[in-house]
Structure 1
Amino acid sequence: MQYTRLGNSGLIVSRMAYGVMTFGVGTGSSHPMAHVWKTPQAEADALVGRALDAGINIFDTADAYTEGQAEIMLAQALGARRKDVVISTKVGFRTGPGLLHTGGSFQHVVAATEASLRRLKTDYIDLLSIHRLDPHTPLEETARALENLVQRGLVRYVGYSNFNAWQSAKLLGIQQRMGYSPLIAAQMYYSMVGRDLEHEVVPFCKDAGLGIVVWSPLAGGFLSGRYTRKDPTGGKGRLANFDFLPSDKEKGYDLIERMHAMAAVHKATVAQLALAWLLSKDYVSVILL
């Protein structure tokens, strides 16, 4: 396992992280992601154990994953090993029916983080990220909430997910002006068929010293090797009914055909090549599996 320093921080993390978005069971839920929530506790325990055995020391979750179940299950799977790992979680998506149960307001960010701490059975979160920009709340207020959590010792480092470059720069500028703890990480979608962040987000992160944490490195499974032009459903895989990361499929199939040929030569898989391509980028700190 390779390890790296995450952004401009002293936090040492494995370059592969384990994401637990699928932990839990979404049966009966009306949530649009419910059909991917299908990992029971016993399986979660085994997966976390295998990740630890492989040298992974960072686990990523969010309060919205499986309506909170994912955080509870991660805590149970880790048990006493929590002290040996980095826990990254996110707040900002809706977690309840009320008007205040979503967004980047001071009230919601603080309350949601305190709830995550209870579910995770820990007294601190290593990395807390704002899951998405709240267009209805000033970034100054969101920044103040993050700093409040850091000053209280509940959060050690802060980051964001799914911001544009200008939004990221604005938030970091507020933190610098106010003397707050700065952002250290940006969790973003990036893959061989989804490279939009190279235009502005990557240059910003390199200049500001933020580590990029990649989510969905296989483009939702499209680059797993099972989806081809001849079998676009991948044997009726998940993407057959749920293509949540649209891309130019024809160009994608051309790429996959070349990757299959390369994989055969190097005795690797298409998925391994896709991950190796990301690991070769010096601005990519961590890849979420």
Structure 2
Amino acid sequence: MSNEAPGMIYRHLGRTGLKVSALSYGAWVTFGNQIGVPQAKKLMQQCWDGGINFFDNAEVYADGKAEEVMGAAIKELGWKRSDYVISTKIFWGGKGVNDKGLSRKHIIEGIKASLKRLQLDYVDLIFCHRPDTTTPIEETVRAMNFVIDQGWAFYWGTSEWTAQQITEAWAIADRLNLIGPAMEQPEYSLLERKKVEVDYAPLYKKVGLGLTTWSPLASGMLTGKYAKDHVPADSRLALEMYKGLKEKKLIEANLDRVDKLKPIAKELDCTLAQLALAWCLKNSDVSTVITGATKPEQIKDNFGALNVVPMLTPEVLEKIEEAVGTKPDAFAVYR
């Protein structure tokens, strides 16, 4: 039985024929670290019931445990394979000298290991989790095409690559009559915008880059649950492994921006998180916004963002810009 839900928006992934739910669900931080199979199964079913068809993962998440948890949950849920879209990302696969990076060896061994952990014959999307400056891009392009030719993945893309690196990958693919990267997975939120809004701007029309954006709530900053001296014990920024993230995000300027957004959310009768998610969804270059959640009420709240999108009129968007003051200056970048 298909999980297509009336309230969900489905968008093409860039220029591909693949349709993904505008809201998707990712395993980063949570699967394998904070939650196991029973809870993952419950949360994924809730996502599914609301129309989410895209679930994101990576070989590095919880050292492979995130893929194992997701794979076991999917097997128990018994969904029809053509109804859901799974991604994984390859770069950090282990401690061995060839267990990381984007060499042909690691891409092929990495995807095989991921498929084993996920208990799947193929993933729909495979991402290069970061650029690898020590491997020629041509080697990576050829290896990703081999993965597609083998049927281990249907589309390949990049994550946090520069516009120049993506352009180079496409030039190589065109020269060799191969498939170029169809999608990119960048960080994107009201607090992190330059790459999506300025750097990639020429690529949307040129190569039809589809975006699967991550951290729309800036690691929870845009939920309003953090204060300068208050970090909830069960939150992401309370985890020791994300100490660096806490230092980067939990700064006075960001807390001030959050405070200025609160009256706008109140005016629209939505939560701060819903406002932040809806703002990301409003960008037509974004194919899907990857959300994370450890609790059912968080998923329910995330779904509410779909109702907020139509409320983001030019006037409301202008208010948001005034509140956060994070709009990147395209001219300053290229001057």
- What is the TM-score with the length of structure 2 in the denominator? 0.78
Shift of 1:19: 0.1
Which residue in 1 is equivalent to 2:50? 54
Q: Distance in 1 between matches of 2:64 and 2:133?
A: 24
Q: Distance in 2 between matches of 1:48 and 1:38?
A: 15
Q: Is the 8 A contact 1:212 1:283 kept in 2?
A: yes
One-letter identity of the residue aligned with 2:15: N
The 1:98/1:271 distance shift into structure 2, 3 A limit, reads same
Which residue in 1 is equivalent to 2:100? 102
Q: Distance in 1 between matches of 2:229 and 2:212?
A: 28
One-letter identity of the residue aligned with 1:244: L
Q: Is the 8 A contact 1:159 1:185 kept in 2?
A: yes
Q: Is the 8 A contact 2:21 2:53 kept in 1?
A: yes
The Cα offsets for residues 184-236 of structure 1, whole Å up to 9 and x where unpaired, read as 111000110111212212332343201111111111111111124xx453445
- What is the TM-score with the length of structure 1 in the denominator? 0.90
Shift of 1:40: 1.5
Which residue in 1 is equivalent to 2:143? 145
- Quick check: 1:233 aligned with 2:230? yes
The one of 40, 46, 65 equivalent to 1:44 is 40
The Cα offsets for residues 48-107 of structure 1, whole Å up to 9 and x where unpaired, read as 1111011000000001111111111111111231502000111011x2221111100000
Shift of 1:249: 3.3
Q: Distance in 1 between matches of 2:137 and 2:223?
A: 37
Q: Is the 8 A contact 2:103 2:140 kept in 1?
A: yes
Which residue in 2 is equivalent to 1:155? 153
- Quick check: 1:244 aligned with 2:245? yes
- Quick check: 1:76 aligned with 2:72? yes
Indicate the percent of aligned positions where both proteins have the same amino acid: 36
Q: Is the 8 A contact 2:70 2:118 kept in 1?
A: yes
Two-structure CA RMSD over aligned residues (Å): 1.7
Q: Distance in 2 between matches of 1:248 and 1:81?
A: 39
The Cα offsets for residues 226-262 of structure 1, whole Å up to 9 and x where unpaired, read as 124xx45344544356252725934323321121111
Which residue in 2 is equivalent to 1:224? 223
The one of 269, 275, 278 equivalent to 1:276 is 278
Q: Distance in 2 between matches of 1:108 and 1:155?
A: 15
SS at match of 1:203: helix
The Cα offsets for residues 138-183 of structure 1, whole Å up to 9 and x where unpaired, read as 0110111101111111111111101011111111111111111221
The one of 183, 188, 191 equivalent to 1:190 is 188
Shift of 1:23: 4.4
Number of residue pairs the alignment of both structures matches = 275
The Cα offsets for residues 27-58 of structure 1, whole Å up to 9 and x where unpaired, read as xxxxxxxxxx2111111111111110110000
Q: Where do 4+ consecutive residues of structure 1 move more than 4 Å? A: none
Q: Is the 8 A contact 1:2 1:15 kept in 2?
A: yes
- Which moves more between the two structures, 270-279 or 75-84? 75-84
Which residue in 1 is equivalent to 2:329? none
Which residue in 2 is equivalent to 1:31? none
One-letter identity of the residue aligned with 2:63: E
One-letter identity of the residue aligned with 1:223: L
Q: Distance in 1 between matches of 2:267 and 2:258?
A: 14
- Quick check: 1:204 aligned with 2:203? yes
SS at match of 1:188: coil
Any unmatched runs of 5+ in structure 1? Answer: 26-36
Q: Is the 8 A contact 2:221 2:258 kept in 1?
A: no
- Which moves more between the two structures, 105-114 or 172-181? 172-181
The 1:280/1:24 distance shift into structure 2, 3 A limit, reads closer
The one of 253, 265, 268 equivalent to 2:267 is 265
Q: Is the 8 A contact 1:202 1:283 kept in 2?
A: no
Which residue in 1 is equivalent to 2:167? 169
Shift of 1:268: 0.8
Q: Distance in 2 between matches of 1:243 and 1:97?
A: 22
Shift of 1:284: 1.0
